Structure 1
Amino acid sequence: MNITFRWYGKGNDTVTLEQVKQIPGVKGIVWALHEKPVGDVWEIEEIQKEIEYIRSFGFHTDVVESVNVHESIKLGNAEREFYIENYKQTIRNLAEFGVKVICYNFMPIFDWTRTEMFHPLEDGSTALFYEKGKVENIDPKELIRTVTAASDLTLPGWEPEKLDHISELFEAYKKINEDLLWGNLEFFLREVLPVAEECGIKLAIHPDDPPWSIFGLPRIITGETSYEKLMAISDSPSNAFTLCTGSMGANPKNNMVEIAKKYASRSPFAHVRNVKIYEDGNFVETSHYTQDGSINIQGVIEELSNQNYSGYVRPDHGRHIWGEVCRPGYGLYDRALGTMYLLGLWDAHQVNKVGEKEWVQFTKI
C-alpha cells in the first residue's frame, strides 16, 4: 500500500508540503495543475515546475488528480475531438515525468456535490454534509454559489466560470440520457486508452459523488454494474478505476468490502474515507474511524491487505478539527489522523498474515 496525500499547490492550499512531510508513511503527493482551464493542454514547462517542487521534499509524483474532462467530450458535441486531442497530449506530457496514474471523472456539469461545507458534528468539529431534500429542491445556480463561496481557494470540479453558462449546459444535457453518456465515455476511452497504454499510464475513473442522478443529470459510475460495463468497453490495462469508499459507499446498496474484494486488482488508486448515512438519504462525512460511520473501513483495508495491494492510497475528505481554517474537506489534521488509522489497520492485518516474527524481519528490510 503506497500512502499518498492530496495537495492543491503552493498558494492554493492551506497545507504545506513541509507539514505533510511530518506525517509518517506518506510517500507521494497526489497533485494537479488546478488553475489550468479544463480542456487546455498541460505544457511540459508547467508540469516540470510543479513536479520539481514536490520532489524537492522527497515525495513521488506518480498520481495526478485530476485531469478534468471537458464538457464537450461528455456531451459528445462537435468540439469533442479538439479537446480529446488536447487530453492525449497532456497524457504524453505527463508520461515524460513518470506519472503512473491519472484520476478523472465523467460527471456532467458538477463534480462532488454537498449542500453544506461546514456542518457541525457532536464532537465540535465540522464536516461536509449532503441533504437529499435540499438537492432535490435547490436551484443549481444557488448551489454553485454556496460551494464556491465556501472557500477562497479553487475547488476541483466547481469551476466558477460555469456560472456564466450554466443554463446552456443544462439545456444541452436535456438531450443526454445514461445510454448516450455511456456512448460518449466509450468514444473518449477508445481514443485515449491507446495513448495511455503506450505511455504506461492507467486512467482511473472516479465514481460519481454521490452515486445517483442529481438535478435530472445522468450519472453512470454508481456501483458494481458500472464497473462491469466499463470493463466491457476495453480490456486495456490502462482502463482502470479509482476505488473511492466514500463516494460509491454513500449508497448503502454498495458493499465496499465486496467491491474492494472484486475490483482492487483493477484499481491502481484508492480514496479511503467514511460517511454516516441516514435513513432519509442524507449523509455526513466523519472521521476515518470505522465505528464513526456507515462504511466498513477496517474491512476494506483487510481486503486490500489480503491482496497485498500495492496501489496508491490516500486518506480522503477529513473533518475540520482543532479550529483549523482550511479548504472544505482538505485540512491537515484530520487527514493526518486518517493516514495513521489506515496504516495501523494495514500493519495489523499484515502481521496477522505473516506472523509477528516474520513481520519484524520484513520491516527491517
Structure 2
Amino acid sequence: MRMTFRWYGEDNDSVTLEQIKQIPGVEGLVWALHDRVAGEVWPLEDVLAVKEKADAHGFHLDVVESINVHEDIKLGLPSRDAYIENYKESIRNVAKVGAKVICYNFMPVFDWTRTDLFKEMEDGSTALFYEKSKVDSMDPQELIKQTTGSAFTMPGWEPERLKDIERSLEAYKGMSEEELWNNLQYFLEQVLPVAEQHDMKLAIHPDDPPWSVFGLPRIITSEANVERLLSLSDSPSHNITLCSGSLGANPENDIPRIIRRFHDRIPFAHIRNVKIYENGDFIETSHRSKDGSIDIADVVRAYHENGFTGYVRPDHGRHIWNEDCRPGYGLYDRALGIMHLWGLWDAYDRVEKGGC
C-alpha cells in the first residue's frame, strides 16, 4: 500500500505541502491542473511547474486526479474526436513527470453530488451530506446555489462547467445508459493505446452517488457494472479506481467482496466511510468502521490479503477542530484517516508474520 494525499495547489487549497510532509507514510501527491477546463490540453510547462513544487518536498506525482473528460465525449458528439486528441496529448505530458495512474470519471454534467457541504454531526464536526428526497425533488440550479458556497473551487463543480447547466441537461435528455456505455467504449478504444505506450493505467472512478441524479444516466454503480466495465478491454491500462465511499453509498454494494474479486485491476484506491440512513440519505464519517456503514477494517484486510501494492488515499474527511478548509478536504480528519489505515495495515502485517 502506497499512501498519497490529494492536493489542489498553492492557490486553491488550505493544506500546505509542509503540512502533508508531516503525515507519516505519505509519499506522493494526487494532483491535477485545476485551472484547466475539461477538454483543454494540459501544457507541459504547467505540469513541470507542479513537479518542481513536489520535488522540493520529496513527493512523487504518480497519480493524477483528474484529467476531466469533456461532455462532448460523453455525449458522443462529432466534436468528441478533437477533445479525445487533446486528452491523448495530456496523457503524454503527464507521463513526462512520471505519472503512472490517471483517475477519471464518466459522470454526465455533475461530478459527485451532495446537498449540504457542512452538515453538523452529533460531535460538533461537519461533513458532506446527501439528502435523497431533496435531490429527487430539487431543481439542479438550486442545488448548485446551495453547494458552491466554498471559498475554493471544487472539482466537478467548477464555475466554467456549471455556467450553462440547463443546456447541458437538455443535451442528455433521453440518453440511455446503453448509449453512455457505447460512448465510454469509444473513448477507451482511442486513449488506451496511448496509455499503454507510456505504461500508464487509466482508472475510472465510480459514480458518486451510484445511481441516477436529475434523470442523468450513470453506469459505474455496482459490482455487475464494474465487471462489465472491465470486460470492455483486456488492456493492462484499463482499470478502476475503487472508491469505497462512492460505491458504498448503496448498501447492496459489498466493497470488500468487490476488492477481493477485482483487486488486480485496482491500481488506485480511495478509502472512506459513509453512514447510510434507511431513507437513502448518507453522510461522510470518520474512517473507523463503527462510525459508518462500511466495514473499513475488512476493506483494508481485503487489500492486504491480496498483496496490494497500489496507491491509496484517504478520501473525504470531516471538518474538525474549527478547520477552515475545502469541503471534505481538510488536513486534520484526512490525517487521522491515514493513521487509522496504517494502523490496520500494520496490524495485518503482524498477524501475517505470526505476531499477536
1:169 matched to 2:155: no
Once residues 196 and 133 of structure 2 are traced to their aligned partners in structure 1, the CA distance between those partners, rounded to angstroms, is 43
What amino acid is aligned across from residue 45 of structure 1 in structure 2?
E
Using the TM superposition, give the Cα deviation of residue 58 of structure 1 relative to its aligned residue in structure 2, in angstroms. 0.7
Aligned-partner residue type, residue 267 of structure 2 = P
Q: Does 1:57 align with 2:57?
A: yes
Q: Report if the CA contact (8 A) 1:141-1:163 is conserved.
A: no
1:361 matched residue in structure 2: none
CA distances 1:69-112 after superposition (whole Å, capped 9, x unpaired): 00000000121000000000000111111100000000000000
Give distance in 2, aligned partners of 1:138 and 1:264: 38
In structure 1, the gaps of 5 or more residues are 358-365
Q: What residue in structure 1 maps to residue 327 of structure 2?
A: 328
Q: Which runs of 5+ in 2 are unaligned?
A: none
Question: 1:362 aligns to what?
Answer: none
TM-score (norm 2): 0.99
Alignment partner of 2:214: what SS?
Answer: coil
Counterpart residue number, 2:5? 5
CA contact (8 A) 2:202 2:237 kept: yes
Q: Which residue of structure 1 aligns with residue 203 of structure 2? A: 204
Residue of structure 1 in register with 2:190 after alignment: 191
Asked whether the equivalents of residues 66 and 102 of structure 2 are also in contact (C-alpha less than 8 Å), the reply is: yes
Partner SS for 1:128: strand
Identity of aligned residues (%): 61
* 2-structure distance, mates of 1:25, 1:171: 46
- In 1, Cα distance between the equivalents of 2:169 and 2:153? 23
* 8 Å contact kept, 1:242–1:267: yes
Is residue 2:81 matched to residue 1:87? no
Q: Which amino acid aligns with 1:70?
A: H
Task: Please show how residues 1-365 of structure 1 align to structure 2 within 5 Å.
Answer: 1-149=1-149, 151-356=150-355
RMSD of aligned Cα (Å) = 0.9
* Equivalent residues, number: 356
Contact 1:305 1:346 in 2 (8 A): yes
Contact 2:140 2:214 in 1 (8 A): yes
Rate the CA distance shift 1:63–1:163 in 2: closer, same or farther, 3 A. closer
Give 1:231 deviation, angstroms. Answer: 1.7
Alpha-carbon deviations, 1:238-260, whole Å to 9, x = none? 00000100000000000011011
The aligned amino acid for 1:130 is: Y
Q: Encode CA deviations 1:182-216: one digit per residue, 9 max, x unaligned.
A: 00000000000000011111000000000000100
Q: Residue type matched to 1:11 in 2?
A: D
C-alpha distance in 2, partners of 1:296/1:101?
26
Partner of 1:360: none
The question of whether the paired residues in 2 share the 8 Å contact of 1:3 and 1:25 is answered with yes
TM-score in terms of structure 1 length: 0.96
Opposite residue 97 of structure 2, the aligned amino acid is F
| Deviations 1:309-360 (CA, angstroms, capped at 9, x unpaired) | 0000000000000010100000000000000000000000011112239xxx
**Letter of the 2:70 counterpart:** H
Amino acid of the residue matched to residue 305 of structure 1? Answer: H
Moved more, 228-237 or 208-217: 228-237
CA contact (8 A) 2:273 2:292 kept: yes
- Structure 2: distance between partners of 1:259 and 1:163: 33
- For residues 100 and 326 of structure 2, the distance between their equivalents in structure 1, rounded to whole angstroms, comes to 27
Query: SS in structure 2 opposite 1:222?
Result: coil
Moved more, 203-212 or 164-173: 164-173
